[in-house]
Amino acid sequence: MKQDIFQAISDPTRRAILTLIAIQALTPNAMAEKFDMTRQAVSKHIKVLHECELIKAEHSGREIYYHFNAKKMQEFDHWLAQFRQNWETQFNQLDQLLTTIKEQK
């Protein structure tokens, strides 16, 4: 079953993994050491992130290094941008309303 990107980033450990591998590609064993969890637990998180295409695997000999997929995150950010502009407009309108109410008092 393909995972939803929202489900993937809803977990704090997966967000931390994304932050970590955005800096440097890591193997599952290296991630497990950084997060003080078993390799199996990290593998479950990696599976979700990989299915959402937020990370990419690169085979190097017997090791698999996982890289942050900035392009996929950028696609997600572009999608969110439409909502961000709407939120900013609504917050600005609320700010203006509150300023008007404050001035009237």
Per-residue pLDDT of 56-84, as tens digits, reads 999 999 999 999 999 988 888 888 888 98
Could you identify the residue written with the tokens 């917050």?
Answer: 91
Q: How far apart are CA 90 and CA 53, in angstroms?
A: 32
Mean pLDDT score across all residues of the chain: 91
- The first and second tokens of residue 97, run together, are 């309303």
Q: What is the pLDDT of residue 73?
A: 87
- Cβ contact 56:66 at 8 Å: yes
Q: What is the pLDDT of residue 12?
A: 95
Could you identify the residue written with the tokens 């977990």?
Answer: 11
Q: What is the pLDDT of residue 1?
A: 55
Share of the chain above pLDDT 90, in %: 68
Residue 14 CA, chain-centre distance (Å), reads 7
Q: How far apart are CA 71 and CA 30, in angstroms?
A: 24
β strands within 1-105, DSSP E: 55-60, 63-68
Could you identify the residue written with the tokens 């393909």?
Answer: 2
Residue 44: pLDDT over 60: yes
